[in-house]
């Protein structure tokens, strides 16, 4: 599967953005999908994940309550709605996919995912 992340940009603190991860190739509905982010000088970190059907979602503590992940298996797209953005959310955001079953431990591990998109830059100004 090929992943294409989009939707990044410059936004003021308190604002909102919607990221999209569009997939092409094999049947999208067999993949669990996650978002990771990497700020300058920091390790890539888990942000959120969603199961194949959308029935299970996972969030990192810093974004829980502000970000919402969803998917549309007809449009082969996963979304990340980001609200109340903070300067600390500034990073390149990557989407990733896996055919493995995910759980609360596996979702945060980068090695769980065998497909990665190219990243989209989110900049939050204070």
Residues 6+ apart with CB under 8 A from 92: 8, 37, 38, 39, 119, 120, 121, 122
Task: Supply the pLDDT for residue 101.
Answer: 84
Task: Supply the pLDDT for residue 102.
Answer: 86
Work out the pLDDT band at 68, boundaries 50, 70, 90. very high
Task: Supply the pLDDT for residue 17.
Answer: 98
Model confidence over 14-48: pLDDT tens digits?
999 999 999 997 788 889 999 999 999 999 999 99
């Amino acid at each position: 599967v090929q992943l294409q992340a989009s939707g990044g940009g410059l936004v003021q603190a308190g604002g909102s953005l919607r990221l999209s991860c569009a997939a092409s190739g094999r049947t999208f509905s067999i993949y669990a999908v996650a978002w990771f982010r990497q700020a300058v000088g920091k390790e890539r970190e888990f942000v959120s994940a969603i199961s194949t059907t959308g029935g299970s979602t996972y969030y990192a503590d810093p974004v829980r309550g502000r970000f919402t992940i969803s998917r549309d298996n007809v449009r082969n797209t996963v979304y990340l709605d980001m609200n109340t953005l903070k300067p600390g959310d500034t990073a390149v955001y990557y989407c990733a996919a896996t055919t493995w079953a995910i759980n609360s431990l596996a979702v945060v591990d980068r090695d769980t995912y065998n497909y990665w998109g190219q990243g989209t830059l989110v900049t939050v100004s204070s």
